[in-house]
């Protein structure tokens, strides 16, 4: 049987709609592009329907106990109404789900929280000794209640091994793109972001965003098409003349509009794409000749010159190149 990536969206009572609908829609768009992705919506309590904090009900939920997860599986846990979340009632009614969540984590599943969903992860015990983040408004409550976790301030999202936590609401979409890039690579994540017309943002403390996703926070479709073409054809001729012909624009007009729209020149963008592709190929053990060709360069010396230009951001293990 072919490998299938399964993504489970937990639906607690009084769930915040955007916490779950944002990531769910990102994966819906991804599933339109690939065939090995399946999504499930699981209730954390008994019953096939849960009412959201906004009053809209979510139905046809499946029982979490029907599933045993593995390292191919992902779980997203959204935030909920704060009054319910912090109540003893919620902790008691959802204990079975907490226990199940911990078992799935031990079995290798990767678990993501959105906003105050981090509280639910902590209640299950899987955040002990881990780095995490949650909505800024609940920082002190979280620290006081879960002193064995390491809460990181001013972070859009945090990854610690197989646990991913995000700061709140729309950051769940940012995290979803990050996860999609991890599963399927930057090109698909970029296509999903484009479908969502998403303004991509990261703080300086966050892990560096893939260049395949950077410089896309604009609505100029012609420039998006040029960026798509460059990302998908790094081993081809990417001169301004060739790209201008592809975009049906003069080289001068393309250069001017690309810089105005993205804030970076065509040459700089092309170099950044090539550097990231080269780093990944070298890290996977591919030979210099293959990397040189795959990045559209003419010689290994040209590749070394390019890597040296960006040596300040390269992983230490690639310094020898």
Q: Report residue 87's pLDDT band, with 50, 70 and 90 as the boundaries.
A: very high
The pLDDT value recorded for residue 316 is: 47
What is the phi/psi pair of residue 169, to 5°?
A: 50, -105
Burial class (CB in 10 A: 0-12, 13-18, 19+), 197: exposed
The pLDDT value recorded for residue 170 is: 79
- The pLDDT tens digits for 242-301 are 999 999 999 999 999 999 999 999 999 999 999 888 888 887 788 989 999 999 999 999
Cα separation of 268 and 259, whole Å?
10
| Under 8 Å between Cβ of 180 and 192 | yes
| Under 8 Å between Cβ of 183 and 5 | yes
Nearest Cα to Cα of residue 22 among 156, 213, 176: 176
Say if domain 5-195 classifies as CATH 3.40.50.10490.
Answer: no
The pLDDT value recorded for residue 189 is: 87
* Domain spans of the chain, in order of start: 5-195, 221-318
Residue whose structure tokens are 């591919």: 286
Q: Say if residue 83's pLDDT is above 80.
A: yes
| Under 8 Å between Cβ of 176 and 22 | yes
Cα separation of 180 and 188, whole Å?
7
Encoded tokens for 42: 């699981």
- The pLDDT tens digits for 151-209 are 887 677 889 999 999 887 778 888 899 899 889 988 898 889 888 876 544 433 444 35
The pLDDT value recorded for residue 204 is: 32
CA Rg value for the chain? 22
State the chain's mean pLDDT as an integer.
87
Cα separation of 319 and 71, whole Å?
32
The pLDDT value recorded for residue 53 is: 93
The residue-averaged pLDDT of 21-47 equals: 94
DSSP letter at 235 equals T
| Global confidence as pTM | 0.69
SS3 164: strand
| Under 8 Å between Cβ of 283 and 317 | yes
Nearest Cα to Cα of residue 169 among 42, 74, 79: 79
The pLDDT value recorded for residue 147 is: 92
Cα separation of 49 and 38, whole Å?
20
Share of the chain above pLDDT 90, in %: 61
Query: Is pLDDT larger for residue 167 or for residue 129?
Result: 129
The pLDDT value recorded for residue 206 is: 43
Encoded tokens for 57: 């009900």
Cα separation of 122 and 146, whole Å?
7
- The pLDDT tens digits for 100-126 are 999 999 999 999 999 999 999 999 999
Q: Say if residue 226's pLDDT is above 80.
A: yes
Say if domain 221-318 classifies as CATH 1.10.10.60.
Answer: yes
The pLDDT value recorded for residue 282 is: 86
Nearest Cα to Cα of residue 81 among 57, 53, 59, 103: 53
Residue whose structure tokens are 């509009």: 257
| Under 8 Å between Cβ of 93 and 131 | no
């Amino acid at each position: 049987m072919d490998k299938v990536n399964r993504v489970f969206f937990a639906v607690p009572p009084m769930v915040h709609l955007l916490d779950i609908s944002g990531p769910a829609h990102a994966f819906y768009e991804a599933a339109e592009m690939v065939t090995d992705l399946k999504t499930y919506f699981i209730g954390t309590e008994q019953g096939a329907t849960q009412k959201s904090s906004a009053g809209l009900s979510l139905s046809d939920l499946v029982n979490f106990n029907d599933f045993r997860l593995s390292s191919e599986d992902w779980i997203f846990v959204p935030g909920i109404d704060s009054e319910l979340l912090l109540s003893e009632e919620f902790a008691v009614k959802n204990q079975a789900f907490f226990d199940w969540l911990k078992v799935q984590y031990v079995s290798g599943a990767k678990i993501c929280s959105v906003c105050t969903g981090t509280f639910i992860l902590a209640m299950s015990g899987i955040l002990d000794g881990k780095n995490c983040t949650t909505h800024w408004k609940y920082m002190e409550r979280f620290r006081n209640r879960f002193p064995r976790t390491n809460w990181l301030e001013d972070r859009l999202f945090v990854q610690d091994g197989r646990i991913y936590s995000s700061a709140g609401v729309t950051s769940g979409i940012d995290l979803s793109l990050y996860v999609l890039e991890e599963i399927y690579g930057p090109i698909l994540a970029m296509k999903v972001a484009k479908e969502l017309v998403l303004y991509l943002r990261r703080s300086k403390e966050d892990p560096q965003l893939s260049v395949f996703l950077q410089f896309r926070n604009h609505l100029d479709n012609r420039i998006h098409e040029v960026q798509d073409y460059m990302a998908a054809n790094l081993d081809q001729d990417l001169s301004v003349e060739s790209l201008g012909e592809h975009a049906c624009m003069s080289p001068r007009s393309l250069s001017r509009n690309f810089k105005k729209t993205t804030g970076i020149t065509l040459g700089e963008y092309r170099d950044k794409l090539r550097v990231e592709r080269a780093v990944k190929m070298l890290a996977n053990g591919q030979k210099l000749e293959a990397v040189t060709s795959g990045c559209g360069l003419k010689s290994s010396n040209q590749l070394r010159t390019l890597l040296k230009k960006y040596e300040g951001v390269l992983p230490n293990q690639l310094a020898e190149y």
